[in-house]
């Protein structure tokens, strides 16, 4: 059986971590693409040399030539620049939009049948632009946001409740900016909704509100601590979970930035919602009933995504 091929476009902090995880999990052969001459080849060689120790079989190749991503089953895009302290995700818009154009064209020319996961920020706008530039079907292009945002939410909740993170499910909707909507009503510990746990005296609404706020600024908290870049371990793990769901036809229900066509009252935008990922890519958009407060929060988030798209269209007339 031929091995899967995973192309990682952008071989920086997240790209390198993705390559390490993909190799360790033997998800397939890995191609690391970057514009920085030599660097992707160096990372691929270094990672290959961890193979004998870890005992994985995967070919890792570094390249600056798009032809090498030909026939990839999955492409994970991290190309671009990350945030520095004091920058919002939106500050990255102009630079990363140009990068998405080059990457989209590279994918279109070399692996139009791939499942594409975008991580580059500002996420909801970049995944939309990448889809436009690549011309791939909407169900084959998704953004990695919700898995990461809910992982942050789950970590904080598990810590507060003093239980295993494995037993915590959490729900975050909307854009991947500060307007994201963590929803306590749909977050649970072993199936028990958080509002019931508050009633049971496990925590307080005030503490939950603080966790919601911390989740919203979870990426920024890490940017501040790192000092010269943004998070990469958890973003990489999150994208790998999405890639595995596709490659293994797992039908996982994962919150991702997906293209909405009327669902949640949104048309023609990428916004974070729960979706089913299987061999067909985005196989289903899960449309849940939101209470009035969540609906309001979701609308604010959708408006923020729309504003970013308008800015993209202003910067590149081919998108208008």
Nearest distance in Å: CB 59, ligand APR: 21
Please report whether residue 145 would count as binding ligand APR according to CB under 6 A.
no
- Options 79, 97, 111, 117; binder of ligand APR; rule CB under 6 A: 79
Alpha-carbon gap, residue 141 to 277, rounded angstroms:
11
- By CB under 6 A, tell whether 143 contacts ligand APR: no
Name residues whose C-beta falls within 8 Å of residue 216's C-beta, 6 or more positions apart in sequence: 178, 179, 180, 182
> Is 78 a residue that touches ligand APR (CB under 6 A)?
yes
> Catalytic site residues?
176
Alpha carbons 51 and 237: distance in angstroms, whole number: 19
Q: Is 72 in the site for ligand APR (CB under 6 A)?
A: no
Q: Determine which residue in the list 31, 44, 74, 119 makes contact with ligand APR, applying CB under 6 A.
A: 119
Burial environment of residue 206 by CB neighbours within 10 A (0 to 12, 13 to 18, 19 or more): exposed
Closest CA to 14 of 118, 103, 124, 142: 118
* C-beta nearest to ligand APR: residue: 12
Strands 115-118 and 172-173, by their bridges, are: unpaired
Q: Is 12 annotated as a binding residue?
A: yes
Q: Using the rule CB under 6 A, is 218 a contact of ligand APR?
A: no
Cα 164 to Cα 137, 142, 172, 181: the distances in Å are 38, 29, 19, 23
121 binds ligand APR (CB under 6 A): yes
Q: Is 129 helix (H, G, I), strand (E, B) or coil?
A: helix
In this chain, which of 13, 173, 269, 273 binds ligand APR, going by CB under 6 A? 13
Sheet with 188-189: strands ordered across: 168-169, 188-189, 192-193
Q: Is residue 146 part of the contact set for ligand APR (CB under 6 A)?
A: no
Under rule CB under 6 A, residue 120 binds ligand APR: yes
Nearer to ligand APR, 28 or 219 (CB): 219
Q: Which of 7, 11, 107, 290 binds ligand APR (CB under 6 A)?
A: 11
Helix runs in 112-185, H state only: 123-134, 146-161
Residue 89 annotated in ligand binding: yes
Q: CB-based contacts of 200: which residues, under 8 Å, 6+ apart?
A: 192
Site for ligand APR (CB under 6 A): which residue of 23, 66, 75, 82?
82
Q: Nearest CA to 18 among 102, 117, 125?
A: 117
130 within 8 A of 97, measured Cβ to Cβ:
no
Q: Which of 83, 152, 154, 216 binds ligand APR (CB under 6 A)?
A: 83
Q: Is 10 in the site for ligand APR (CB under 6 A)?
A: yes
Site track for ligand APR across 89-118, x = CB under 6 A: ---x---x--x--xx---------------
Query: Is residue 35 a contact partner of residue 11, using CB atoms and an 8 Å limit?
Result: no
Residues lying near ligand APR in the complex (CB under 6 A) are found at 9-15, 34-36, 78-83, 92, 96, 99, 102-103, 119-121, 229-230, 232, 235
Q: Which residues are annotated as a binding site for substrate?
A: 83, 89, 121, 152
Q: Which residues are annotated as a binding site for NAD(+)?
A: 10-15, 34, 96, 119-121
Q: Which residues are annotated as a binding site?
A: 10-15, 34, 83, 89, 96, 119-121, 152
């Amino acid at each position: 059986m031929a091995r899967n091929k995973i192309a990682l476009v952008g071989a920086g902090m997240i790209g390198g971590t993705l390559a390490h995880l993909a190799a360790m999990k033997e998800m397939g052969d890995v191609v690391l693409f970057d514009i920085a001459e030599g660097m992707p080849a160096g990372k691929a060689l270094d990672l290959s040399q961890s193979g004998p120790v870890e005992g994985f079989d995967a070919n890792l190749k570094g390249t600056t030539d798009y032809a090498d991503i030909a026939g990839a089953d999955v492409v994970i895009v991290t190309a671009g620049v990350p945030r520095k302290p004091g920058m919002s995700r939106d500050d990255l818009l102009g630079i990363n939009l140009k990068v998405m154009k080059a990457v989209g064209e590279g994918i279109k020319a070399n692996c139009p049948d791939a499942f594409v996961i975008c991580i580059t920020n500002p996420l909801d706008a970049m995944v939309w632009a990448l889809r436009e530039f690549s011309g791939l079907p909407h169900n084959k292009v998704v953004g990695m946001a919700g898995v990461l945002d809910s992982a942050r939410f789950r970590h904080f909740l598990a810590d507060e409740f003093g239980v295993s993170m494995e037993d915590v499910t959490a729900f975050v909707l909307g854009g991947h900016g500060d307007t994201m909507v963590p929803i306590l009503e749909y977050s649970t510990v072993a199936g028990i909704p958080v509002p019931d746990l508050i009633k049971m005296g496990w925590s307080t609404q005030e503490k939950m509100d603080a966790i919601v706020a911390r989740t919203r600024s979870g990426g920024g908290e890490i940017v501040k601590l790192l000092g010269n870049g943004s998070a990469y371990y958890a973003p990489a793990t999150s994208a790998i979970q999405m890639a595995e769901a596709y490659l293994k036809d797992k039908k996982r229900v994962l919150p991702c930035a997906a293209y909405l066509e009327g669902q949640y009252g949104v048309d023609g935008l990428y916004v974070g919602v729960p979706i089913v990922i299987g061999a067909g890519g985005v196989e289903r958009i899960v449309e849940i009933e939101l209470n009035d407060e969540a609906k309001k929060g979701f609308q604010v988030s959708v408006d923020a995504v729309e504003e970013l798209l308008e800015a993209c269209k202003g910067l590149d007339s081919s998108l208008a």
